[in-house]
Structure 1
Amino acid sequence: MQLGSRWQVGQPPHPGVPGRLHPAIAAAERRLDDASQQAPTGGSWTLTWLEGRPRVELIDAAGTVRADIGVDATGRVTERVPPAAGGSGADPAAGDATGVRPAADDHDDDDDDDWLS
């Protein structure tokens, strides 16, 4: 059994968060900093486990999901684009309407089961 956890935006990831997610978490926080011209306040990250794979969500003080990062079935780190961050939840740059894209440092696009995440 793997337990989830929660930590505040701007703090180091909880020790239970796999290291492979840390760069994507830092990138998401930088995007929020750049978009608002200040550090995000009142938000928190939540770590959950789905089918044994980690997933972290950043939820701001208003309850809006600002980032959703996980590991797919092939072990690739992906980021789901939340509607608040880009409209419909889809990422046009991903070439489809799933709203799932590889994390910034992972460009392998051989995954055919994004619907699971």
Structure 2
Amino acid sequence: MQLGTRWTSGDEPPAAVPDALRRGVKSVDATIPADQFGQPRPRWTLTWLEGKPIAELDTGIIVSLDADGQPVARNDPDDGFG
């Protein structure tokens, strides 16, 4: 696994994030409500596993690409909430 980069949810993803994955990340970001109390937003981590990009949000949501290169969002089964 190669570590990529981190950025805050709602911010523009870095250029290193492939376009298809970027669409998935933005879709997830759109579902996160604004915090009325000023708490920091969760952060994304981009990693590469076997040459494939994966974005994981601090909350356990993972965005990856399916076999057709389309973004897929899912919850991490090992995040302790499932």
Note whether the superposition's TM-score is higher than 0.5: yes
Q: Do the aligned residues in 2 keep the contact of 1:53 with 1:72 (CA within 8 Å)?
A: no
Q: Which has the higher contact order (CA 8 A, sep 6+)?
A: 2
Question: Over aligned residues, Cα RMSD in angstroms?
Answer: 2.5
SS at match of 2:11: coil
Higher helix share: 1
Partner of 2:30: 30
Q: Are residues 76 and 42 of structure 1, via their aligned partners in 2, closer, same or farther at CA, if it must alter by over 3 Å?
A: closer
TM-score in terms of structure 2 length: 0.73
Alignment partners' CA distance in 2, 1:82 and 1:43: 15
Is this contact kept in 1: 2:23–2:71, CA < 8 A? Answer: no
Q: What is the Cα deviation at residue 3 of structure 1? A: 5.0
Number of equivalent positions: 76
Cα 1:31/1:42, change in 2 over 3 Å? closer
Distance 2:67 2:48 in 1: 13
| 2:51 partner amino acid | G
In structure 1, distance between residues paired with 2:67 and 2:51: 10
The Cα of 1:82 is off from its aligned counterpart by 3.9
Deviations 1:34-83 (A, max 9, x none): xxxx2572421100001111000111xxxx32x21011344232112246
Residue aligned with 1:20, SS: helix
Counting only pairs closer than 5 Å after superposition, residues 65-76 of structure 1 correspond to structure 2 as 65=60, 67-76=61-70
- Of 58, 72, 78, which aligns to 1:78? 72
Unaligned runs of 5+ in 2: none
Tell me the equivalent position of 2:45. Answer: 46
The one-letter code sitting in structure 2 at the alignment partner of 1:72 is D
Which structure has more strand as a fraction of its residues? 2
TM-score normalised by L of structure 1: 0.54
Report the residue type matching 1:17 in the other structure: V
- Structure 1 or 2, whichever has the larger Rg, is 1
